[in-house]
Amino acid sequence: MYLTKESKEKLFKKHGKSATDTGSAEGQIALFTHRINHLTEHLKQNRKDYNTERSLVRLVGKRRALLDYLTKKDILRYRAIVKELGLRK
């Protein structure tokens, strides 16, 4: 499996407040970005996998919604997470 418990904890520890804080916007955005990158690589090899393509589009939409929420709530946190993850915008 590409996303183990340890890798999730490491991801939340790095981008969230702590390893157990899985609900913060930054942690969720980091998790979605990790999953989006994984699905993108999968689709490069399997271009006719339409179910994965649909899942990817839904994940991108969820991440966009969280980023919009963070923009309205705290612009400095938004700028920090975008810079940290290397997202465009």
Structure tokens at 38: 């994984």
pLDDT, one tens digit for every residue, the chain (89 residues): 688 999 999 999 999 888 888 899 999 999 999 999 999 999 999 999 999 999 999 999 999 999 999 999 999 999 999 999 999 86
Q: Helix 25-45 vs helix 50-73: angle between axes, to the nearest 10 degrees?
A: 150
For the chain, the distance separating the N- and C-terminal CA atoms, rounded to the nearest angstrom, is: 31
Q: The pTM is what?
A: 0.91
What is the residue extent of each domain of the chain?
Answer: 37-89
CA dist., res. 38 & res. 46, Å (int): 12
**Residue 19: what pLDDT?**
85
Structure tokens at 50: 């339409």
Q: What are phi and psi of 3, to 5 degrees?
A: -125, 95
**Residue 89: what pLDDT?**
64
Task: Identify the CATH assignment for 37-89 out of 1.10.940.10, 1.20.140.10, 3.40.50.300, 1.10.287.10.
Answer: 1.10.287.10
